[in-house]
Amino acid sequence: ESGSGKTTIGRAIMGLLPPESAIVSPESKIIYAGKNLLTADAAHLRAIRGKSISMIFQEPMSSLNPVICIGDQIAESLTVHLGLSRKQAWTRARELLQEVGIPEPERRLKSYPHELSGGQQQRVMIAIAIACEPKLLIADEPTTALDVTVQAEILRLLISLSEQRQMSVLFVSHDLGVIRYVCDRVTVIYGGHVAETGRVEDVIGRPRHRYTTELLAANPGMP
């Protein structure tokens, strides 16, 4: 449910928690590639953020810069992390737009976010997130702001990209129906604590925690 700590965990992995309001226990650890990200310096976090680990947020319109064209927004991480020239980055950006299913990618490179539909905006966010071929993609309720038909298209796209690129996806959602469709393993968070964790079919088919049972009961069509 909202407020259980799902997004907070994703932001903590990315090093995006606001230091003025987020208190992290000194005993906490986030181990990635053998290094604790909570004690890593700013340079290390900059090196992996957007390259090895990327994140997609709930509201694409609030994540995209309204005054910068789509091509430059995708190209930025390619020039920063991979050292591509602007021309090379734009060529790769066009390929990425095509990969995520944006029609007329050459024309859309010069478009601004307000000229795209909500589904197209989210596809652009996915293109930005996968541009540097990350090993881990954190998807924070990426379909919440979309209608049902577009939600299904985005979910299929994420599954396809994960398989093609051998990319792990940490998918944040309150919807166990979506979790069952997308994920292999699930961790149920309740009040900031882990209620239970395991393979999706085990947790959904044989829930052990009262809260998981309540979540299942609140999802129409779930067993």
Residues 6+ apart with CB under 8 A from 104: none
- Res 221 pLDDT > 70: no
Per residue in 168-199, pLDDT (tens digit) is 999 999 888 889 989 999 999 998 889 999 99
Instruction: Using DSSP bridges, classify how beta strands 35-36 and 31-32 pair: parallel, antiparallel or unpaired.
Output: antiparallel
CB 140 within 8 A of CB 53: no
Residues 6+ apart with CB under 8 A from 22: 8, 12
Percent of the chain with pLDDT over 90: 67
Q: Percent of the chain beyond pLDDT 70?
A: 98
What is the pLDDT at residue 121? Answer: 93
Phi then psi for 207, rounded to 5 degrees? -65, 140
User: What's phi and psi for 19, nearest 5 deg?
Assistant: -65, -25
Q: What is the mean pLDDT of the segment spanning 22-33?
A: 90
A 10 A CB-CB count for 103 gives 9
Q: Give yes or no for residue 42 having a pLDDT over 70.
A: yes
Q: What is the mean pLDDT of residues 97-108?
A: 94
Q: How confident is the model at residue 143 (pLDDT cuts 50, 70, 90)?
A: confident
List 187's β-bridge partners, or say none. Answer: 197
- pLDDT > 70? residue 222: no
* Rounded Cα gap, residues 97 and 78, in angstroms: 14
* Average per-residue pLDDT for the chain: 91
pLDDT at 162 over 90: yes
Distance, CA of 161 to CA of 170 (rounded, Å): 13
Tell me what the mean pLDDT of segment 100-108 comes to. Answer: 94
Structure confidence at residue 56 (pLDDT): 93
3-state SS string over 82-113?
HCCCHHHHHHHHHHHHHHCCCCCHHHHCCCCH
DSSP tag of 33 = T
171: buried, middle or exposed (CB in 10 Å: 19+, 13-18, 0-12)?
buried
Alpha helix (H) ranges present in the chain? Answer: 6-14, 42-48, 60-63, 70-82, 86-99, 105-108, 118-130, 148-165, 176-182, 200-205, 210-217
CA geometry: angle 204, 12, 131, nearest 5 deg? 90
Average pLDDT estimate for 135-141: 94
Chain centroid offset of residue 121 CA: 14
Q: How much is the average pLDDT of 49-59? A: 90
